[in-house]
Amino acid sequence: MSRRKTERLLNLVICLLSTRRPLSAEQIRHVVPGYDPDNDEAFQRMFERDKNELREIGIPIEVHKDPWEDDPGYRIVRQAYELPEITLEPDEAAVLGLAAQVWQRANLAEAASGAMLKLKAGGVETDLVEGPLELRVDTRDPAFPTLWEAVRDRRAVAFDYRSSGSESVLRRVVEPWGVVSRRGRWYVVGHDRGRDDTRVFRLSRITGDVTPVGRPGAVRVPEGIDLRAQVGYAGEEFPERTALLRVRPGTCQGLRHLARQVRPGADGDSGWDEVELAFTDAERLAGWIASLAADAQVLDPPDAREAVIRRLKGALQ
C-alpha cells in the first residue's frame, strides 16, 4: 500500500470517528485530503474502494439514510470501533508472559515483546512467572523466518533440499501449511508440487535461501489437517548407530558422560581420546559436535563427518 493511500484511509477513519452526525460522500470528498475534488467518477470509484477495504479489516462504517436527504451519510460509531477493556485473570496473564519468554530468543521475539508492551500499557501485569526453569524456543534455522512468513501469507516457496542419508540436493516447490517443532527440530509441512503429494521437510536440511513463489493468498490449507500428526509419521525416526569420535583429554565432559565407551587414542596418540557415542540423527549430532569447535572430531560414519564439515563451513560464510 502506498504512503498516499495509507494517509487517505487514516484520514477517512479519523473523519468518520470524529463527526457527531453522518457525513455525505460529497462532504467527505471536501473534508478528507486525497480525494479528487473535480472528477466525480474517479472520486466515487476511490471512495467505494476505500470503504470496502476498511470494512475488510474490521472497521465498522455505518450507513445512515435520512428521509429528508437525497444521499446517505456515513460514520464510525466509536463504541463499535474501539476494543473493549482487556481483563485477564492472573493465570491467563502468566501464560501470556510465559509464552513471551519462550519466544524471547526466537525470530518472533520482536512481535512477542511488542505484544507484552501493549498489554502492560493497558494495565495488564504479565511478569507473574516465577521458578527455576527458563524456557526457550530456538529457531535459528536460517529458513525459519521466510517459511513462517510464507505460512502467514499463504504463499508457495522454493528451496534446495538434501534428503536424509543422501548428498544429492534437489529443488522443491512447496505450498506450506505450517511450521511445526518436534523434539527440538523444526519442520515445514505442505504440498510438494513436484510430487503432487503431502510432504514434510526438516528445516536443517534446507540449503541456501528460501524463495517466495507466486502471489500471497494462493495456498489453501486442507480442512482438518493435523500438522503434528504429519510430522510424527514423516519417517524421521532413524535406527540407532554408533559414531566414533576423537576428543581432547579433559574436555567435552557432557559428551563423555553419554558415551558408550571412552578409551585412549589409537597408536599411542596421547593428544586425543576415542569416544563411541550412540546417535540416530547425523544432523543433530553434527550440530552438537560443531559447537565443541576444535575439541572434538568425527571419524565415522562418513555422513556424520560430512555434516559437521558442512556446519563449520557454513559458519565461516
pLDDT for the residue 317 = 56
If asked whether residues 77 and 94 sit together in one domain, one would say no
Mean pLDDT estimate for the chain: 80
Decide if pLDDT at 235 tops 60.
no
Query: Quick one: the chain helix, strand, coil %, rounded to 5?
Result: 40, 25, 35
pLDDT, one tens digit per residue, over 84-114 is 666 767 767 666 666 665 555 455 555 666 6
Q: Is the pTM of this model over 0.85?
A: no
Decide if pLDDT at 137 tops 60.
no
Cβ atoms of residues 115 and 99 within 8 Å: no
Query: Domain limits at 173?
Result: 144-232
If asked whether residues 73 and 124 sit together in one domain, one would say no
pLDDT for the residue 213 = 92
The pairing of beta strand 23-24 with beta strand 73-76: antiparallel
More confident residue, 76 or 140: 76
Q: Look at residues 197, 232, 267 and tell me which one is the last residue of a structural domain.
A: 232
Q: Look at residues 232, 261, 282 and tell me which one is the last residue of a structural domain.
A: 232
Residue 250 and residue 252: Cα distance in Å, rounded? 7
Q: Look at residues 96, 120, 137 and tell me which one is the last residue of a structural domain.
A: 137
pLDDT for the residue 110 = 59
If asked whether residues 259 and 219 sit together in one domain, one would say no
Q: What is the DSSP code (8-state) at residue 236?
A: -
If asked whether residues 153 and 127 sit together in one domain, one would say no
If asked whether residues 157 and 106 sit together in one domain, one would say no
Average pLDDT over every residue of 4-9 = 88
Cβ atoms of residues 191 and 213 within 8 Å: no
Average pLDDT over every residue of 3-20 = 88
Specify the number of domains making up the chain: 4
pLDDT for the residue 244 = 92
More confident residue, 310 or 8: 8
User: At 185, which CATH number?
Assistant: 2.30.30
More confident residue, 80 or 99: 80
Q: Residues near 216 by Cβ (< 8 Å), separated by ≥ 6?
A: 153, 154, 155
Residue 258 and residue 240: Cα distance in Å, rounded? 14
Residue-level length of the chain:
317
If asked whether residues 58 and 96 sit together in one domain, one would say no
- State the cell numbers at 246: 576423537
Decide if pLDDT at 158 tops 90.
yes
pLDDT, one tens digit per residue, over 249-296 is 888 888 888 888 898 877 656 688 899 998 877 877 888 888 888 889
- Give the least confident one: 179-188, 213-222, 228-237, 308-317: 228-237
